[in-house]
Structure 1
Amino acid sequence: MKSDFKFSNLCGTVYKKGNLVFTPDGNSILSPVGNRVSVFDLVNNKSTTFPFEMRKNIVKIALSPQATILITVDEDGRALLVNYPRQIVLHHFNFNEKVNDIEFSPDGKYFAVTHGKQVQVWKTPGFNREFAPFVLHRVYTGHYDDILSISWSFDSKFFLTTSRDMTAHIYSLVPTEGFTHMTLGGHRDSVLGAWFSKDSKAIYTISKDGALFHWRYASVANILGQEDSDDEMNEDKADDEIAKPADRVRWRVQERHYFMQAGAKVKSCAFHQASNLLVVGFSSGIFGIWELPTFTNIHTLSISQKKIDTVAINATGEWLAFGCSQLGQLLVWEWQSESYVLKQQGHFYDMTSVAYSTDGQNIVTGGDDGKVKVWNSVSGFCYVTFSDHTSGVSAVEFAKQGQVVFSASLDGTVRAFDLVRYRNFRTFTSPTPVQFTSLAVDPSGEVICAGSMDSFEIYVWSVQTGKLLDILEGHEGPISSLGFSPTGLLLVSGSWDQTARTWDVFGRKKSIETYKHTSDVLAVAFRPDGKEIATSTLDGQISFWDVEDAKQTSLIEGRKDISGGRKANDRVTAENSASGKSFNSLCYTADGSCIIGGGNSKYVCIYDIATNILVKKFQISMNLSLDGTQEFLNSSKMTEFGSKETMVDDDDMSDLEDRLDKSMPGAASGDLSARRTRPEARTRAVRFAPTGRAWAAASTEGLLIYSLDDTIIFDPFDLEIDITPDSVLETLEGKEYLKALCMSFRLNEKPIIQKVFEGIPPKDVELVAQDLPEKYLERLLKFVGVHMENSPHVEFHLMWITRLLMAHGRYLKQNRGQFQAVFRTLQKVLGSVKEDLANLCDSNTYMLRYIITQCEKSSGASMDGVQPELLSI
């Protein structure tokens, strides 16, 4: 089995904290998700997450106007310089101060970053790796409190800063003749935003209390009017006869406006210079759009009950993006048509369970918030959310046949959801209220079983009728896990009573065998062939049992492998705090040769069953903002009152509603952004994809997807110096098809492989398939399966598949474990093509019948004798 799985995508988390940034073309938006960055393509409906991680949660990101350089800054002021097109980290840098804002100049030559009470302007680095790419241009001072925001003028010569000291300052990038540093005062609360107009003749400032000031660069006469200007000028001359004429022209307040949102503070704001569009988000979850300088309210809409943390406007001014950290919500709204372009939200609390569909295209997750979400594994978007449960969802499963999702919840119900009509069509309950902690679905989809926490029983229902068929009794502790065998004849259950049992659900003798352990059983799983059972226990062991003989075949001592990470308040290192580390989720690979496990740890482990050896260990997160990611005790952060990392030190909590703590004493779950205890890095569930090419983990960070990396541009296979793209094409033109095909696979560039593959005539397919070396067989079958999905040459691909299976059937049968993932990929593609062709034929049939019917009505005569072959369709 291949073990070179790499991080592929992050689903289930669309926004954590920080600012949102649109790309210059306005088609994509960048969102910080914890210590990673996700890019949502709004046109192609696809999301991707960058592979790099930061030390802590990201608070600010900035993208250059040419979309070449990306700078990300975390909570401690550490920054990464990233080559955006290639997603490669070029440099690490530390600003040594908490960063509130970072902005590139419109010409892309400089970027300004807040540094406490100062502003640092740096020259934009190049695209190559350099020893010291950050070159400081100048440091600007003048504020008396932390600076909150920075904005540039349209010509990149000046920039504005706002601060908690209730003022805004104007600075010039380079010394300008006749310009002096200016201060704009008058607000009664922290100034959150300040912007130049497009012609730089006006400035708009917004404070936290909802006041908007319109500033003009003019004299008193132009502001107050010509009538009373003469009197004022005479008074000024009397007071100060030596005043210079230049002192009379400066930035002055022309108008004051107020948003009039009772009881709500301004939390975020953005201004679009080209269209003079102002967007403001309030603490009440309401946002408004105003047109300046007339201050005309275009629209006001409530999108949530929580505060709006960030607002962004794309280059054209058509799309608005909003982020809400308390809900983990990301919205993109087109204000002209008043419609959503994107509306995504992750699970409000932890993600507890995950399951793959049979074709691997969809992933269903359940969370502590009681919601069931279905994600598309290709696009990374959630396309349906079911909120029928009133308590946390403990287990989810896909039906092996059909578009049906089952979920078990602590609210005492098991529900079935239809993915065609998107509705809850069946609800299963027990005679007495119990809490369900586990779930299993029969391969036929006719029977569903759920294990309870308090009655220690297993309930069996019929999916068709919804009636309770049986109650399986025998366990003496809560049921932790259930699983059906692939044949559907046996049901295995694991319990806290230190036993695992197999049940014959459809036979008279219910309990067949009891597998005794030395500790509580947390997870059970059947091998794909149904001949072996794997169980994990509280002491960190994984046991393997033979189903026929009911004997233990092997044992893996995994506590040392999964142990790792210490909490902030622990007085010991991670090595000495290994107690409680165990696997709470198990899953076999597609070929059954390996098993993957995850638990209350930052690690996910894959073991080879035959040798009981750890194949690979994955670390799900390196985010130091989470508990359980550090290995050693940092005594410099320990005080007599506890760790400094757990102490709340947030200057933004100046409002009463921010300082109120409404959580229950001792509660460790709830609103992740407001609770006093830090989230812990752990994995609640792991599952392998049916194709064997990927696996997913429901973790604290979200739904992590690891896959075999197929996006590498240059990954040669047994390459020689004389194999080049030109030589491959020359061989193809010389009609040496087998040699050209083998050379293209050794070069391993997808465009070359596709050109050679499609250049082989159909009449020569049989000969090429017969003479193909066996070491290229897996690569060719995989290529055919992937390429067939997007190619119109259906018959050509079917011919290849048929000839390869006929020529190499015996070899494939002997090594079916190695080709298991390839077979599943081919099965998925063939099923998809069959469904598409069937839908096309049905559509053409209905269209022909409609045309014939219309012809009969228009002619008034029957068409039976004219076209009998059409009427017989």
Structure 2
Amino acid sequence: MKSDFKFSNLCGTVYKQGNLVFTPDGNSILSPVGNRVSVFDLVNNKSMTLPFEMRKNIITIALSPQATILITVDEDGRALLVNYPRQIVLHHFNFNEKVNDIKFSPDGKFFAVTHGKQVQVWRTPGFNREFAPFVLHRTYTGHYDDILHLSWSSDSKFFLTTSRDMTAHIYSLVPTEGFTHMTLSGHRDAVLGAWFSKDQKAIYTVSKDGALFHWRYATVASILNQEESDEEMEESKEVEEETKPADQVRWRIQERHYFLQAGAKVKSCAFHQDSNLLVVGFSSGIFGIWELPTFTNIHTLSISQKKIDTVAINATGEWLAFGCAKLGQLLVWEWQSESYVLKQQGHFYDMTSVAYSTDGQNIATGGDDGKLKVWNTVSGFCYVTFSEHTSGVSAVEFAKQGQVVFSASLDGTVRAFDLVRYRNFRTFTSPSPVQFTSLAVDPSGEVVCAGSMDSFEIFVWSVQSGKLLDVLEGHEGPVSSLAFSPTGLLLVSGSWDQTARTWDVFGRKKVVETFKHTSDVLAVAFRPDGKEIAASTLDGQISFWDVEDAKQTALIEGRKDISGGRKSTDRVTAENSASGKCFNSLCYTADGTSIIGGGNSKYVCIYDIATNILVKKYQISMNLSLDGTQEFLNSKKMTEYGSKDTMVDDDDQSDLEDRLDNTLPGTASGDLSVRRTRPEARTKCVRFSPTGRAWAAASTEGLLIYSLDDTIIFDPFDLEIDITPDSVLETLEAKEYLRALCMSFRLNEKNIIQQVFEGIPPKDVELVAQDLPEKYLERLLKFVGVHMESSPHVEFHLIWVTRLLMAHGRYLRENRGQYQTIFRTLQKALGSVKEDLASLCDANQYLLKYIITQCQKSSNSSMEGIQQNLLSA
């Protein structure tokens, strides 16, 4: 089995904190997700997570106007300079201060950064040949409190800053004749935003208390001339003559407006210069759109139950993006049509369980918030959420070729959801209320079993009728895990009573075999061939048992492998804090040669079963904002009152609603955004994809997906000295298709294989498939399954699949265990192609009907012409 899995995507979380940024074309949006950045393609409906990680949670990001440079800054002021098109980190930098905002100038030559009470302007790397990537242009002072917001003028010559000191300041990038540093004061609360109008004749400032000030660069007299009548004009002239200093030209308040949202304060705001639109998000979850300078309310809508933390507008002004940190929500709203472009939300609390569909195209996740979500692995989006459960979901399983998903919950119900009609069509309950902690579905999807926490029983229901078929008794502790054998004849259960048991659910004798362990059993799993059982225990061991002989065949001591990480409150080192480190979840690979395990640790381990050797160990997160990611603690942070990491040092909580703590005393979970608790880096569940190309982990950060990347690695197969790319292409030109195909697989270069594969005429596919040696069959089927998803030649691939299965069907049937992952890869590819064709036909059904009717008309007219010619003859 290949072990070079690389981080691929982060699906379970869409927004954590910080600001949202649209790309210059307006088709994608960048969202900070913990210490990573996710990119959501709003046109192609896909998401991806950039491969780099920061040391702590990202607090602000900025993208250059040319979309070439991305700068991300974390909570400590450390920054990364990233080449955005290539997704490569170019440089590390430390601003040595908490950064509240960072903005590129419209021409892209400079970027401004808040630095406490100061503003630093730096030159953008790449415009000039310089020794250092970051070159400081100038530092600007004048504020008396932390700066909150920055904005540039359209000509990149001036910029505005707002601060908690209730003022806004105007700065010039370079010394300008006749310009002096100006202060705009008058607000009664912290100023959250300030912007120039497009013609730079007006400035708009928004404060936290809901006030909007419209400033104009003029004299008092000119402002009065516009607002007063003729008589008042004469009086103002007399006043002007008496007071000469009032005739000075300066920025003055022309109008004051108020949003009048009772009991709600402004939390975020954004301004679009081209269309003069102001978007404001409030603490009540309401947002509004106003047209300036008339202050006309265009739209007001409640989109969330919590405060809106950030607002962004794309380049055309059509799409608005909103982020809500408490709910983990990301919304993109098209205000003209009043419709959602994107509406995504992760689990409110921890993700507890994961399950892959049979084709590996969908992933179901359950969380402590009682929600069941289904994610598409290709797009990375959640396309359906079920919230029927009233308590945390403890286990999920797919059945019926991925069309049905089952979930077990602590609310005492097991529910079956239809993924075709998106409804809960069955609810299974026990005679007396219990909490279900484990779930298993037989391969046919006709029987579902669930294990309880309090009665120590296993309940068996019929999916068709919904009736309780049997109650399996015998365990003396909570049933922690259940798994059906691939043949569907045996059910294995693991319990805290230090035993794992196999049950003959369908047999009349009800034979029970007991496998005794030295500690509590936390997870069990069947090998894909159904002949072996793996069980993980509380002491960090993984035991392997032969099903037929009921004997232990192997033992893996995994505590040292999974141990690691130290909490901020630990009194012992990471090496000595191995207690409690164990595997809470197990899963075999698709070929059954390896096993993957994860638990209360930052590590996920993959073992080779034949040799009992650790193949690879993955660290799920490098985020120092989480507990358990550091091996050594900094003694400087330890005080007589405890660690500084657990102390509240955020000055933003100045409002009463932010300072209220409604959590129960002593709880480590709940509303983590209010209580100062650091979430712990751990893995609740790990699952391998049935295709063998990826695995997923439900972690504190979200749903992490790791997949294979074979494009860079040169991995030849039976390579000889005379096999070169030129010789392969020469053989193809000589029309020796079978030999050219075999040579390309021996060279194992993807572009050469693709060129040879597509160079074989469809009429010769049958002969090539019949004469293909069996040792190349696996590689060809694997290539067809992967290439089919990205190639437009649908019929060509279907011909290949059909001919290969017809020619080698008997061999594939005899070795179906070896080719199981290949079959699932083909199934996934065929399913995705079918969905693409179905959506394409649905979108163009009227055009297709028109073409068909036109063809029928032309054929009828040609038949009539033939008949007339025959009659005339």
Counterpart residue type for residue 107 of structure 1: D
Deviations 1:218-245 (A, max 9, x none): 11111122754665565566566xxxx8
The residue that corresponds to 1:867 in the other structure is: none
Per the alignment, residue 352 of structure 2 pairs with: 352
Q: Is the 8 A contact 2:396 2:407 kept in 1?
A: yes
Residue 305 of structure 1: how far off its partner (Å): 1.5
Question: Which stretch has the larger CA shift, 416-425 or 267-276?
Answer: 416-425
Equivalent runs, 1:359-370 vs 2, <5 Å: 359-370=359-370
* SS across alignment from 1:577: coil
Q: Cα distance 1:130–1:564, how it changes in 2: closer, same or farther (>3 A)?
A: farther
Aligned to 1:294: 294
Q: Deviations over 1:180-203 (max 9, x none)?
A: 110000001100000000000000
Once the two structures are superposed, what CA deviation does each residue of 1:301-352 show, in whole Å capped at 9, x if it has no partner? 1111210000000000000000000000000000001010000000000000
1:774 to partner: Cα distance? 7.1
Task: Tell me if the contact between 1:109 and 1:123 (Cα under 8 Å) persists in the aligned partners.
Answer: yes
User: Counterpart of 1:156 in structure 2: which amino acid?
Assistant: S
Aligned residues of 2:220 and 2:246 also touching (Cα < 8 A): no
Partner of 1:506: 506
For 1:205 and 1:720, the matched residues in 2 are separated by 72
Aligned to 1:423: 423
Partner-residue secondary structure (3-state), 2:221: helix
> What's the counterpart of residue 39 of structure 1?
39
User: Cα offset for 1:766?
Assistant: 5.3
Deviations 1:4-24 (A, max 9, x none): 000000011000000000000
- 1:13-39 CA deviation, whole Å, 9 max, x = no partner? 000000000000001000000000000
Within a 5 Å distance, the mapping from 1:416-455 to structure 2 comes to: 416-455=416-455
The answer (yes or no) to whether the contact 1:582–1:600 under 8 Å persists in 2 is: yes
**Residue of structure 2 equivalent to 1:117:** 117
Residues 642-721 of structure 1 aligned to structure 2 (within 5 Å): 642-710=642-710, 712=712
- Higher mean alpha-carbon deviation, 419-428 vs 823-832, is at 823-832
Quote the residue 2:5 is aligned against.
5
Contact 1:414 1:429 in 2 (8 A): yes
Task: Give the alignment of 1:837-852 within 5 angstroms.
Answer: none
How many corresponding residue pairs?
Answer: 852
Q: Give the TM-score normalised by the residue count of structure 1.
A: 0.92
Separation of aligned partners in 2, 1:402 and 1:565: 37
Residue in 2 aligned with 1:856? none
CA distance in 2, matches of 1:747, 1:106: 49
Q: Which residue of 2 aligns with 1:251?
A: 251
Aligned to 1:82: 82
> Would the aligned equivalents of 2:503 and 2:513 in 1 still touch at CA under 8 Å?
yes
Separation of aligned partners in 1, 2:776 and 2:77: 50
- Corresponding residue SS for 1:575: coil
Please say if residues 359 and 402 of structure 2, whose CA atoms lie closer than 8 Å, have aligned partners that are also in contact: no
Q: Could you give the per-residue CA deviations for residues 795-839 of structure 1, whole angstroms, max 9, x where no partner exists?
A: 543443466567778987898666542232124445666899999
Q: Which residue of 2 aligns with 1:271?
A: 271
Give the aligned partner of residue 27 of structure 1.
Answer: 27
Tell me, yes or no, if the aligned pair for 2:114 and 2:147 is still in contact at 8 Å: yes
Match of 2:517 in 1: 517
The answer to whether the 8 A contact 2:596-2:606 is kept is: yes
- Cα distance change of structure 1 residues 92 and 546 upon mapping to structure 2, 3 Å threshold: same
- Give, in whole Å, the separation in 2 of the partners of 1:781 and 1:630: 44
**Does the Cα contact within 8 Å between 2:545 and 2:552 map onto a contact in 1?**
yes
> Matches of 2:837 and 2:32 in 1, distance apart?
41
Contact 1:83–1:127 (CA<8 Å) still a contact in 2?
Answer: no
CA deviation after TM superposition for structure 1 residue 713, in Å? 10
Deviation digits for residues 425-460 of structure 1 (CA, Å, limit 9, x no counterpart): 111111111000000001111111000000010111
The share of aligned pairs that are identical, in percent, is 89
Are 2:449 and 2:458, in contact at CA under 8 Å, matched by a contact in 1? Answer: yes
Cα 1:257/1:246, change in 2 over 3 Å: closer
Question: In 2 relative to 1, CA 844–31 (structure 1 residues): closer, same or farther, beyond 3 Å?
Answer: closer
Task: Return 5+ residue gaps in structure 2 as ranges.
Answer: 854-873
Q: What does residue 755 of structure 1 align with?
A: 755
Matches of 1:852 and 1:121, distance apart in 2: 64
Please say if residues 412 and 434 of structure 2, whose CA atoms lie closer than 8 Å, have aligned partners that are also in contact.
yes
Distance in 2 (CA, whole Å) between partners of 1:374 and 1:91 is: 37
Aligned residue for 1:339? Answer: 339
- Looking at structure 1, the residues matched to 65 and 188 of structure 2 have their Cα atoms a distance apart, in angstroms, of 34
Alpha-carbon distance between aligned partners in 2 of 1:314 and 1:840, rounded to the nearest angstrom: 28
Task: With the length of structure 2 as denominator, give the TM-score of the two structures.
Answer: 0.92
* Contact 1:494-1:524 at 8 Å conserved across structures: yes
Q: In terms of mean alpha carbon deviation, does 713-722 or 338-347 score higher?
A: 713-722
Per the alignment, residue 103 of structure 1 pairs with: 103
Q: Structure 1 residues 736, 807: CA separation in 2 closer, same or farther (over 3 Å shift)?
A: same
SS in 1 for 2:704: strand
Give the 3 Å change call, closer, same or farther, for CA 70–794 of structure 1 in structure 2: closer
Using a 3 Å threshold, how does the CA distance of structure 1 residues 742 and 87 change in structure 2: closer, same or farther?
farther
**Whole-angstrom CA distance in 2 between matches of 1:312 and 1:659:** 27
Measured in 2, the distance between the counterparts of 1:189 and 1:451 equals: 56
Q: What secondary structure, in the 3-state scheme, does the structure 2 residue paired with 1:821 have?
A: helix
The alpha-carbon deviation at position 382 of structure 1 amounts to 0.4
For residues 364-412 of structure 1, the C-alpha deviation after alignment (integer angstroms, 9 at most, x for no partner) is: 0000000000101110100110000000000111114351111000001
Amino acid corresponding to residue 79 of structure 1 in structure 2: A
Query: 2:141 aligns to what?
Result: 141
The answer to whether the Cα contact below 8 Å between 1:34 and 1:58 also exists between their aligned partners in 2 is yes
CA distance in structure 1 between the aligned counterparts of 2:241 and 2:134, rounded to whole angstroms: 50
- 2: CA distance between counterparts of 1:275 and 1:726? 58
CA distance in 1: counterparts of 2:265 and 2:760, whole angstroms: 68
CA change 1:717–1:71 in 2 (3 A) is farther
Equivalents in 2 of 1:431, 1:570: separation in Å? 44
Is the contact made by 1:91 and 1:129 (CA closer than 8 Å) also made in structure 2? no
User: Cα distance 1:697–1:251, how it changes in 2: closer, same or farther (>3 A)?
Assistant: same
Could you give the per-residue CA deviations for residues 632-668 of structure 1, whole angstroms, max 9, x where no partner exists? 1221111111111111110100111111111110111
Query: Equivalent residue of 1:658, what SS?
Result: helix
Question: Is the alpha carbon distance of 1:776 and 1:138 closer, same or farther for their aligned partners in structure 2, counting shifts above 3 Å?
Answer: farther
Residues of 1 paired with 2:325 and 2:749: CA distance? 42
Residue identity in the other structure for 1:584: N
Q: 1:90, 1:128 within 8 Å by CA — same for their partners in 2?
A: no
Structure 1 residue 761 displacement after superposition: 2.1
SS of 1:150's partner is: strand
Q: Please state if 1:489 is matched with 2:489.
A: yes
Tell me which amino acid in the other structure corresponds to 1:339: S
Q: Aligned partners of 1:307 and 1:606: how far apart in 2?
A: 42
1:871 maps to what in 2? Answer: none
Matches within 5 A, 1:223-238: 223-225=223-225, 228=232, 231-232=235-236, 235=239, 238=242
Query: Secondary structure of the equivalent of 1:681?
Result: coil
RMSD: 3.3
Amino acid in structure 1 at the alignment position of 2:580: G
| Alpha carbons of structure 1 residues 501 and 64: separation in structure 2 relative to 1, 3 Å | same
Do the aligned partners of residues 774 and 130 (structure 1) sit closer, same or farther apart at CA in structure 2, a change above 3 Å counting?
farther
Matches within 5 A, 1:256-655: 256-401=256-401, 403-655=403-655
CA 1:852 to 1:648, structure 2 compared with 1: closer, same or farther past 3 Å? Answer: closer
Shift of 1:748: 6.1
Q: What SS does the aligned partner of 1:780 have?
A: helix
Cα distance between partner residues in 2 of 1:630 and 1:840: 50
Separation in 1, partners of 2:582, 2:27: 44
How many angstroms does 1:735 deviate by? 3.3
Structure 1 residues 850 and 773: CA distance shift in structure 2, 3 A? closer
- Where structure 1 has 5 or more consecutive residues not aligned to the other structure, the ranges are 854-873
SS in 2 for 1:269: strand
* In structure 2, C-alpha distance between the alignment counterparts of 1:723 and 1:200, rounded to whole Å: 67
Asked if 1 retains the 8 angstrom alpha-carbon contact of 2:221 and 2:247, the reply is: no
2: CA distance, partners of 1:177 / 1:805 = 80
The Cα shift of 1:628 comes to 0.5
Q: Deviations over 1:472-492 (max 9, x none)?
A: 110000000001111111111
- The alpha-carbon deviation at position 139 of structure 1 amounts to 0.6
Deviates more, 1:814-823 or 1:282-291: 814-823
Change (3 A) 1:553 1:718: closer
